[in-house]
Structure 1
Amino acid sequence: MSEAQHARPVAGILWMLATTLLFISVNVTVKFVGDGLPIFESAFLRFLLGLILLVPMLGQARHLKMTPRLWKLSLARAVFHGFAMTAWFFAMTRIPMAEVTAMNFMNPLYVTIGAVLIFGEKLRAPRIAALFVAFLGGLLILRPGMRDLDAGHVAMIFTAMLFAGSYLIGNRLSREMPATMVVFLLSISVPFVLAPFALANWVTPSLHQLVLLFITAVCATLGHYSMTRAFACAPQTVIQPVTFVQLVWSVLLGWTIFGEVPDLVVILGGVMIMGAVTFITWREARRKADVPESVKH
């Protein structure tokens, strides 16, 4: 993307602030749904109800040429994403929002590790140091041996890993089709992946639960849209630190709405993880800037 396209940092920051509010709204609605429905059913309905938001994409989808390889990648991504969403829903019913948010900051670190293991990317000493700091931040949040760990903490570890897998596959797909179609394929395929698990233990949802899950789908979709707009306005080095505000919203809303007392150690761990992610983002941006134009093209 050209510098001219990245010349609106204030707009980018405002779009990312909107993103954090939308994503934290997803957390709040999921928290209100709680364990009133089986976890697989909640995740399934979140995607099923969100299908109505895909109607504007149908025209473009008709012209999409899919190969067997692209179908396989899309299905693999749906498996990663569907189970990540289910584990995340489970964690939201078990542990405070701030801990869910802080642990989910680990996602970009798992993406970095996955890129090394799967795509053979090189890790230099500064990035290794940043990964170590993030790992320490994760230990601060969990504090194994110093407190009883809940199944929700374990679920969040797998959530971040599974979302990283979904991101890596999505990044590969985005090189071969428009980003809107990557989102479209994910949204229509996840319900098929989750349907057998949801139907195996089906509980008829109330109208209130359906409304909450529809709001979840709307906020999540708008959140991804505003995040895309943010990255179109400003480089990641400007935008990435703003995502930390989501932890602030989590602490405030968790405290005021759900009575979750803020844990300063969790906040410190989140700061360490976010700092490491920001550093890696900055290093990657600088590395790309140092690549000659002849090599880029």
Structure 2
Amino acid sequence: MNPIFKAALFMTGAIASFSAMAVAGREVSFALDTFEIMLFRSVVGVVIVCSVAAFTGTWRQIRTDALHIHGIRNLAHFTGQNLWFYAVTVIPLAQVFALEFTSPIWVILLSPLLLGEKITAARAVAAILGFIGILIVARPGMAGLNPGIVMAGVSAIFFALTNIFTKRLTRTQSITCILFYLTVMQLVFGVAMAGYDGDIAMPDSQTLPWLVLIGCAGLLAHFCITTALSIAPATVVVPIDFIRLPVIAVIGMLAYNEAVDIWVFVGAAIIFAGNYFNIYTETRKNVS
């Protein structure tokens, strides 16, 4: 199979998974708070990861030499995912996804501090375009910054931290090891945060299928993106990922009567242009 076509198929799976997770998160929000959603998502994740590790015989890849990095990564991801689940319940889904696309911009800005990487001219241009896009999507002077927009924007920062520490972990840790600590540590975080008041709402017959979907979709989305990037250049994968925005906008319109805001698309397109310009420049530099 052609690598580009194969990558496109995996990205189709990622788009479907992210969209399903957003819808499922909104559907269970009436009964569970974000900490409880993350708790039960992690339960599903632990079962899946441990089953796959047992079936494939990759238990031996789970190491303990980088637990502190795993802890920082998973705390960042847990925080970002909680904020993201909150955002999908209070603002249009397309707006959440548009602001999520700023995560690579934050990677550019935080990498010099955490990875020792330099900010090149291309990365600076990408960051500037990204912030212009944020202003267009959020339009703080038009309707004010509501909590949903703020939470969606901040979640992108924590997702960027997650990506940075994931990059550090992949130098020495396997995918099985990373996913194992992802699900186990976030299960512990979920129990602690959901149970701090001594009251954890349990899923019922109505919310349980949505929670299983969230757990499966979360793991599948990251697996699909990682696989797509392993078989095709980022310059191919990233534009396909951008299709998430019109897809979720249509879903929001059909399922929740959300209006399609053209300025969300304009801002997201500028954010995408900045990301793509940086990826294209980095690719050309590596080839030369």
TM-score, scaled to structure 2: 0.93
How do 1:52-131 residues align onto structure 2 when only pairs under 5 Å count? Answer: 52-54=47-49, 55-58=51-54, 59-67=57-65, 70-131=66-127
- 1:256 is matched with which residue? 254
Aligned equivalents of 1:209, 1:8: Cα separation in 2: 38
Q: How many residues align?
A: 283
1:204 to 202, 205, 209: 202
CA contact (8 A) 1:138 1:273 kept: yes
Aligned equivalents of 1:230, 1:204: Cα separation in 2: 36
- 1:15 is matched with which residue? 10
Q: Percent identity?
A: 27
1:269 to 246, 252, 267: 267
Structure 2, unaligned stretches of length 5 or more? Answer: none
- 2:133 is matched with which residue? 137
CA offsets per residue over residues 38-62 of structure 1, 9 Å max, x none? 2211121111222211111144234
Cα drift, residue 63 of structure 1:
4.7
> Which amino acid in structure 1 is aligned with residue 187 of structure 2?
P
Aligned equivalents of 1:212, 1:65: Cα separation in 2: 32
CA contact (8 A) 1:34 1:92 kept: no
Work out whether 1:28 is the aligned partner of 2:26: no
CA contact (8 A) 1:26 1:216 kept: yes
Aligned equivalents of 1:98, 1:60: Cα separation in 2: 38
After superposition, the CA RMSD in angstroms is 1.6
Cα drift, residue 175 of structure 1:
0.4
Aligned equivalents of 2:83, 2:8: Cα separation in 1: 30
Cα drift, residue 123 of structure 1:
1.6
- 2:236 is matched with which residue? 238
1:162 to 158, 163, 166: 158
Is 53-62 or 93-102 further displaced after alignment?
Answer: 53-62
Q: Does the C-alpha gap of structure 1 residues 18 and 49 become closer, same or farther in structure 2, counting only changes over 3 Å? A: closer
Cα drift, residue 207 of structure 1:
2.2
CA offsets per residue over residues 88-135 of structure 1, 9 Å max, x none? 111111111000000000011111111122222122223211211110
CA offsets per residue over residues 131-180 of structure 1, 9 Å max, x none? 11110000001111211322111111211011111111111011002123
CA offsets per residue over residues 162-214 of structure 1, 9 Å max, x none? 11111111110110021232122111111112211101242233222121011
Cα drift, residue 14 of structure 1:
2.4
TM-score, scaled to structure 1: 0.91
Structure 1, unaligned stretches of length 5 or more? Answer: 291-297
